[in-house]
Amino acid sequence: MLGIARFAMKSPLHTGILAALFAVVPVLYVFSAALVALTTLRFGLTAGTRILIFAFVGSLVSWFLSGVPLSLLVLVLVTFLAVTLRETQSWGRTLLVSVVLGLIFAMISQSLFQDLLDSLMNIFQQIVSAGRVGSAQWQLIEAIKPMAGYILLTSQIAEALLALLLARYWQAGLFNPGGLKAEMHSLRFTWQEASLLIVAMLIALLMQPGALMLFGIPFIFAGMALIHGIVAKLKLGGQWLVAMYIGLFLLNQIIVPLLILFVLVDTFFDIRKRIPELPNKDNE
């Protein structure tokens, strides 16, 4: 994986060509977004924008071939987030900015592209329910149609954050070994940030339940970082992390609320600081 970044960082032309090529392939455009983010993190917005233009060209080709323009939105989002992380050096603030961006773009999509979203949801509804009007699947999709913009932006923000995380991994691997691990293990919301998220979630619950998914992303991200930090301090095996990811995928309705609770407790009591770090077994 580092080989991609090492080759890309040989010159801006290398980076731009790779970003354009990855953007053409629908399943690989996250790598294109990560290259834009890596350049922005390393050299700033001006250099990142140059690579973004290359990536846009690839995304336009992908849009023409597949009819799906979602990679364009991820590229824009990851550029904003990379600038935020570069300027603030804070994952907590970057996660908050991701929510704000998600809300803005979700409201825009709900206002300007409602007909397009309804058409896409109707197609998805026909596929999932096999055309059986009134089935459970049909009714479920019918219920979430008014929230389509928020669902879409939740997935796009998640992809943008994953691309940013990959870019940070590349940056650490090439220029600051171990830097990403230290960042993730120390990621923790301030009480102001956590309080702001909770208040926003309560407002969303009353006014726009679809936005709850957006507000859940920072908690999930911070929760995963918290678990990684605890596992590292207790010198537990990687199987604990594998189990956590499997549980998050299969039992998300249980795991996500628990992660939110853990993050809130950690915000006020700093769980990782209270856990004594165990010595490495090799040193015993």
Interval 182-189 mean pLDDT: 87
Query: 221 and 255 in contact (C-beta within 8 Å)?
Result: no
b/e for 104-129, b at 16 or more Cβ within 10 A?
Answer: ebbeebbeeeeeebeeebeeebeeeb
Whether 284 has a pLDDT exceeding 50, the answer reads no
Report the distance separating Cα 158 and Cα 30, nearest Å. Answer: 11
Query: 34 and 174 in contact (C-beta within 8 Å)?
Result: no
pTM of the model: 0.88
Whether 283 has a pLDDT exceeding 60, the answer reads no
Longest dimension (CA), the chain: 65
Domain definitions of the chain by residue range: 187-278
What torsion, rounded to 10 degrees, do the Cα atoms 267, 272, 275, 278 define? 180
Whether 15 has a pLDDT exceeding 80, the answer reads yes
pLDDT digits (tens, 9 = 90+) for 44-61: 999 999 999 999 999 999
Report the distance separating Cα 100 and Cα 217, nearest Å. Answer: 12
Mean pLDDT over the full length of the chain: 85
Report the distance separating Cα 49 and Cα 58, nearest Å. Answer: 14
What is residue 208's predicted lDDT score, i.e. its pLDDT?
A: 81
